[in-house]
Amino acid sequence: MNQAHTKSMSTVTQTVVTTVGEIGQHEGRTVTICGWLYNLRTSGKLLFPIFRDGSGMIQGVVLKNAVPAAVFDAVKGLTQESSVIVEGKVRADKRAPGGYELDVSNVQVLQRVPETDPYPITPKEHGTDFLMDHRHLWVRSPRQAAILRMRAEIIRAARDFFDQRGFTLTDPPILTPAACEGTTTLFPVNYFDEQAYLTQSGQLYIEATAMALGKVYSFGPTFRAEKSKTRRHLTEFWMIEPEVAYATLEDIMELAESFITAIVKRCLEHRCSDLEMIGRDLAKLARIEPPFPRLSYDQAVTMLQQAHAKGALEHRFEWGGDLGSPDETYLSSQFDKPVMVHRYPAAVKAFYMEPDPARPELALCLDVLAPEGYGEIIGGSQRTASYDLLIQRIHEHRLPEEAFRWYLDLRKYGSVPHAGFGMGIERAVAWICGLEHVRETIPFPRMLYRLYP
């Protein structure tokens, strides 16, 4: 800390240290807040500093005649993001954003940001690249802080959902010997001169723990080296994945439906003020409740072809392909709830998916597309239970059989139907917060051209 900029409190009074978030419990009393200066307005003998402390913001009032001259001068020259410990009396004020103001009696400046090198992010508009280069500071702005609180709430809600339903959390490895979702999007790692990869999904491993524990889930970072530069793609993202022994596609569709509903409900119960500060239309979230519409891939293709005929979609979608971003955007903007698209052609999906016995060219899989054009937030399926079919698929996908020995064992020793899905936390946060891009949903995004800070 720069001692030259440090000023001590002139009087040492013992007051309760609290946070802006809990200030309402201290009305009429003098408290201490530890935070930063967000903004300062001056009006002659009155100063109106706004302090933030991570839990919220509060406006202080400094009256020249009511405080020692040193305190008034310290606040008067205070620069944005200087760190301060503030003492003041909590006063209810209906006009104040949080309902309270602080009549400041004392201020200790821990570090004063010099005028010669001011805090780079000002309330004026900045370009995305500039903000991304300053992500380590950008996270302090109220909107970004609110998004990070939303992320934490969504993660907590997701974990509570599974914890309360008898699922056991099992953590899969991040360093793996083989691909889970496809060989084209792997990040290679030199593992003591052996070829390893960063995991694309914990799924294969939690299939093993599901056979041990019945209902399991994992939550951790996953990596995709795809060179997609879209508003939905990160190279590092966090996925929550449940896996259930003896479950079918229908079972996990119902699970996905109640899972999403529970998360949205929790956000509305606990984080309305954050959602409002982010500018989210709460009415749209309030509509999220079961049942969600179910759309077979065949029906989805018909809808997309009709959209093309009407001129609402540029290209004509042909049966057999995987849905691309524009297709998902179109489909998901046709519903005001998440839509569950099921039974895609097996040829465009991962090797481990169980074929539909009624039409083996289709996989028993689902994608959940969030409404308002957000697209896929969940991907899942029933898993191939047959040893013979699974080994055939491994060969068809040109995957190294040796690396999958252990996975094949699961079909040799008490194989059962089982199913699960994965939800990317960042896509869920983007949809629930109504954000344009996933880059704001994670503290430090990793993308095609972004590895700094």
Residues near Mg ion (CB under 5 A) are: 379
Binding-site partner at residue 209 among ligand 4AD, Mg ion, none, CB < 5 to 8 Å by type:
none
| By the rule CB under 6 A, 371 interacts with ligand 4AD | no
Minimum CB–partner distance for residue 215 and Mg ion (Å): 22
Binding-site partner at residue 343 among Mg ion, ligand 4AD, none, CB < 5 to 8 Å by type:
none
d(CA 315, CA 212): 47
Alpha carbon separation from 33 to 7, 39, 53, 62, 83 (Å, rounded)? 16, 16, 7, 15, 11
Minimum CB–partner distance for residue 367 and Mg ion (Å): 6
Minimum CB–partner distance for residue 425 and Mg ion (Å): 15
Q: Do the Cβ atoms of 115 and 104 come closer than 8 Å? A: no
**Residues 349-377, buried b or exposed e (16+ Cβ, 10 A)?**
bbbbbbbbeeeeebbbbbbbbbbebbbbb
Tokens of 194: 């052996």
Minimum CB–partner distance for residue 412 and ligand 4AD (Å): 22
Q: Between 216 and 307, name the residue whose CB sits nearer to ligand 4AD.
A: 216
| By the rule CB under 6 A, 47 interacts with ligand 4AD | no
Minimum CB–partner distance for residue 81 and ligand 4AD (Å): 31
Binding-site partner at residue 424 among Mg ion, ligand 4AD, none, CB < 5 to 8 Å by type:
ligand 4AD
Q: Tell me which DSSP letter residue 55 carries.
A: S
Q: Which of 87, 181, 257, 440 binds ligand 4AD (CB under 6 A)?
A: 181
Q: In sequence order, what E strands does 331-403 have?
A: 339-342, 355-356, 359-363, 365-370, 375-382
- Largest CA-CA distance found in the chain, in angstroms, rounded: 86
Amino acid symbol at 98: G
Q: Do the Cβ atoms of 365 and 344 come closer than 8 Å? A: yes
Site string for ligand 4AD, 187-226 (x = CB under 6 A): --------------x-x--------------------x--
CB atoms inside a 10 Å sphere around CB 128: 10
Q: Between 54 and 221, name the residue whose CB sits nearer to ligand 4AD.
A: 221
Minimum CB–partner distance for residue 213 and Mg ion (Å): 25
Q: Between 209 and 222, name the residue whose CB sits nearer to Mg ion.
A: 222
d(CA 109, CA 333): 51
CA 442 from chain center: how many Å?
A: 6
Q: Which of 337, 380, 382, 445 binds ligand 4AD (CB under 6 A)?
A: 380
Nearest 5°: the CA angle 347, 349, 354 is 90
Scanning 39-47, 306-314, 370-378, 397-405 for contacts with ligand 4AD by CB under 6 A, the matching segment is 370-378
Q: Between 49 and 379, name the residue whose CB sits nearer to ligand 4AD.
A: 379
Scanning 103-111, 132-140, 152-160, 378-386 for contacts with ligand 4AD by CB under 6 A, the matching segment is 378-386
Q: Which of 56, 88, 345, 422 binds ligand 4AD (CB under 6 A)?
A: 422
d(CA 194, CA 199): 15
Site string for ligand 4AD, 222-261 (x = CB under 6 A): --x--------xx--x-x-x--------------------
Q: Between 88 and 424, name the residue whose CB sits nearer to Mg ion.
A: 424
d(CA 433, CA 282): 10
Binding-site partner at residue 87 among Mg ion, ligand 4AD, none, CB < 5 to 8 Å by type:
none
Tokens of 78: 């205070």
Q: Between 7 and 437, name the residue whose CB sits nearer to ligand 4AD.
A: 437
344-351, Cβ contacts within 8 angstroms, sequence gap of 24 or more: 344/297, 345/297, 345/319, 345/320, 347/320, 348/320, 348/321, 348/322, 349/322, 349/381, 350/180, 350/181, 350/182, 350/381, 351/390, 351/393, 351/394, 351/396, 351/397, 351/399
Minimum CB–partner distance for residue 365 and Mg ion (Å): 9
Q: Where do contacts with ligand 4AD occur on this chain (CB under 6 A)?
A: 180-181, 201, 203, 224, 233-234, 237, 239, 241, 376-381, 420-424, 426-427, 438
